[in-house]
Amino acid sequence: SKILKNNPHYTIVTDTTFPPFEIQAKNGKYVGIDMEILKQISVNEGFTYTLKPMSFNSETQAVANGQADAIISGFTITDERKKLFDFSEPYFESGFIWAVRKDSSIKGLKDLKGKTVALKTGTGSADYAKSIQKKYGFDIKYFNDSNTMYNDVVVGNSVACFEDQPVMQYAIKNGIKLTIPKQKPANTGHYGFAVQKGKNNDLLQAFNHGLKELKDNGTFDQIRNKYLGGDQ
Ligand code: GLN
């Protein structure tokens, strides 16, 4: 009783870089938690896809405009986004944090006054930073991907960046010279796979069906642990 008939083909967008969810390996192929979940579900549910990595802001627009069928991108489910997208069941919990250079004297948000912070265009962490910008009096600079945003802080152009907690932790563990000052993650939510609102409902249902199977048979935890070990 497959949801999808005749092995349909889709265009699915993802972020150029969002480890450990989307990671471009040395051979150019994409790996990571999202990539492995998607691959497994496509095999089990009977569909194929062309993966199109692009900047986060472009990929969300591509799905919202109907230029791509679906997005998997550590994409946080929010009520605002539900106006444009239909989301799968949630599969990963994540909140927003801010990070500074390892040698930074900045310890709290108050220390950001008059300084420049780096944000990634279109993200929930950027929305969060904007929502507290007036209160803490910092300036904002935008980037299209996480790596160039981190680098702006590493080289000292910006003093802090805002990012999803598990992604920032993973980057730091893998050598990015930033640190996360003591703080409580903000606006904790969940990642979901998404399609344009009102479209590709069969793909969404197939994803949910496949996700449940991966959760029930332990594959989901295996994939997650492969990248995060006992961290989360
Ligand atoms: N989880 C964040 C969001 O959905 C960031 C996603 C990303 O940068 N790929 O806005």
Q: Which residue is closest in CA terms to ligand 1's atom 5?
A: 123
pLDDT tens readout for residues 146-161: 999 999 999 999 999 9
CATH of domain 9-91+192-228: 3.40.190.10
CATH of domain 95-188: 3.40.190.10
Burial class (CB in 10 A: 0-12, 13-18, 19+), 102: exposed
Instruction: Compute the C-alpha angle 208/224/93, nearest 5°.
Output: 65
ipTM of the complex: 0.98
Q: What residues contact residue 88 under an 8 Å CB cut-off, 6+ apart?
A: 192, 193, 194, 204, 207, 208, 211
Give the position, in ligand 1's atom list, of the atom nearest the Cα of 124.
10
pLDDT recorded at residue 230: 65
Residue 66 banded pLDDT, cuts 50, 70, 90: very high
Query: Which residue among 79, 164, 187 is best mutated to probe the pocket of ligand 1, counting the most ligand atoms within 8 A of its Cβ?
Result: 164
Residue 109 half-sphere exposure, CB side, CA atoms within 13 Å?
A: 17
Give the position, in ligand 1's atom list, of the atom nearest the Cα of 75.
4
**Residue list, ligand 1 pocket, CB within 6 Å:** 15, 18, 56, 73-76, 120, 123-124, 164
pLDDT tens readout for residues 79-129: 999 999 999 999 999 999 999 999 999 999 999 999 999 999 999 999 999
DSSP string, 75-138: -B--TTGGGTEEE----EEEEEEEEEETT----SGGGGTT-EEEEETT-HHHHHHHHHHHHHT-
Q: How far is the CA of 74 from the centre of ligand 1 (A)?
A: 5
Q: How far is the CA of 208 from the centre of ligand 1 (A)?
A: 20
Burial class (CB in 10 A: 0-12, 13-18, 19+), 113: exposed
> What percentage of the chain reaches a pLDDT higher than 70?
98
- Identify which of 223, 232, 225 has the alpha carbon closest to the alpha carbon of residue 38: 223
Q: State mean pLDDT over 126-134.
A: 98
Q: How far is the CA of 76 from the centre of ligand 1 (A)?
A: 6
Burial class (CB in 10 A: 0-12, 13-18, 19+), 124: buried
Asked whether the beta carbons of 144 and 160 are under 8 A apart, the reply is no
How far is CA 232 from each of CA 76, 121, 164, 169, 225, rounded to the nearest angstrom? 17, 26, 13, 10, 9
Give the position, in ligand 1's atom list, of the atom nearest the Cα of 127.
10
Q: What is the distance between the alpha carbons of residues 74 and 132, in angstroms, rounded to a whole number? A: 23
Give the position, in ligand 1's atom list, of the atom nearest the Cα of 191.
1
Q: How far is the CA of 5 from the centre of ligand 1 (A)?
A: 31
pLDDT recorded at residue 2: 84
Q: How far is the CA of 91 from the centre of ligand 1 (A)?
A: 14
Average pLDDT, the chain: 97
Residue ranges of the chain assigned to CATH 3.40.190.10: 9-91+192-228, 95-188
Residue 231 banded pLDDT, cuts 50, 70, 90: low
Q: How far is the CA of 138 from the centre of ligand 1 (A)?
A: 22
Q: How far is the CA of 48 from the centre of ligand 1 (A)?
A: 24
The structure's pTM equals: 0.96
